[in-house]
Amino acid sequence: MLNNLFASSNPDQGAGILDQLLSAVRPGTGLGYATGVGSVAAGVAILTGVQARLAAILVSTMLASFALLVHQPTLLADHSIHMNWTESAVNLAVIGAAWVVAHSLARPRR
């Protein structure tokens, strides 16, 4: 199972699951650097409190775009694979957590 995540043992199958899913955001690509820098910057902003609400909103937006651009197509392509459902569920849970953090950082009403 773990071997299938990173590289397929069968050369006819091509790349592994993670290689297929993350080909656009792998290190060395512009999108890979952008998501990495954005995630680190958002984490620093949330920890220091500088534009923390904006950072949490942007992180939840980035994760939602991953759900739409990465996880939904794989789920629609083959909905019988358990891993596709698991990835989508975990991503939605993390989006919800980021949304809760953004809401908790909201300005108090007067």
Using only the alpha carbons of the chain, give its radius of gyration. Answer: 17
pTM across the whole model? 0.68
With a cut of 70, say whether residue 49 has pLDDT above it. yes
The total number of structural domains that make up the chain: 1
Domain of residue 85 covers: 46-110
pLDDT digits (tens, 9 = 90+) for 66-81: 888 877 888 888 888 8
Least confident of 59-68, 70-79, 89-98: 70-79
Section 36-52 average pLDDT: 92
Q: Please give the Cα distance from 47 to 52 (Å, whole number).
A: 8
Sorted by sequence, the CB contacts under 8 Å of residue 19 that are 6+ apart come out as: 6, 7
Whether 2 maps to a domain, the answer reads: no
Whether 55 maps to a domain, the answer reads: yes
With a cut of 70, say whether residue 90 has pLDDT above it. yes
Whether 60 maps to a domain, the answer reads: yes
- pLDDT of res. 32: 73
Whether 51 maps to a domain, the answer reads: yes
